Amino acid sequence: MAGLKFLSFVALCWLLAAPVARAADPALGPHGGPMADTEPYNVELVLANGDIHVFAFDDKTREPVSATTAHGTATVLIGDQKQTVELAPAADDNLLAGHIAGAADGRVRIVVVLHFPGQPSIVARFAI
């Protein structure tokens, strides 16, 4: 009987913890990348084939924010290697892009700093 109570307790703990574990996962943006809430924007990072794509969205309406007059940098840490990548406006209205020199294999940490005219700098951190 004690074993059944213990198993019931473990099952209850697992059921209660499961929603919390799912809520801790970072939200994915419309382009499939992780999102960071930086107020007043949400920032999405997409890293593919050495290209860094950073998208900005209004944090309340989730609408894209024009990045045509913005610029930024991405500090990229791949293992113990660090590099700084300039981010510039690209094809999409809300896209800033840059390119990493070399392969982005293994754990990658990226700190993005965005500058929109007339506003304080925005910092978003990502671990991929």
Dump pLDDT digits (tens) for 11-28: 333 333 333 333 334 589
Token code pair at residue 87: 């981010």
CATH for the stretch 27-127: 2.60.40.3340
- pLDDT for the residue 85: 97
pLDDT at 23: 32
pLDDT at residue 2 is higher than 60:
no
Instruction: Give long-range contacts, CB 8 A cutoff, 24+ apart: 77-82.
Output: 77/108, 77/109, 77/110, 78/102, 78/103, 78/104, 78/105, 78/106, 78/107, 78/108, 79/106, 79/107
Look at residues 103, 95, 44, 47 and name the one whose alpha carbon lies nearest to residue 71. 95
pLDDT level of residue 106 (50, 70, 90 thresholds): confident
Residues counted in the chain: 128
pLDDT per position as a tens digit, 51-94: 999 999 998 999 999 999 999 999 999 988 999 999 999 988 99
Q: What are phi and psi of 27, to 5 degrees?
A: -70, 145
Q: Compute CA distances 125 → 37, 54, 55, 90, 108, whole Å.
A: 10, 12, 14, 21, 11
The domain limits of the chain are 27-127
Question: Chain-centre distance of CA 94, in angstroms?
Answer: 15
Give the pLDDT confidence score for residue 32 in this predicted structure. 94
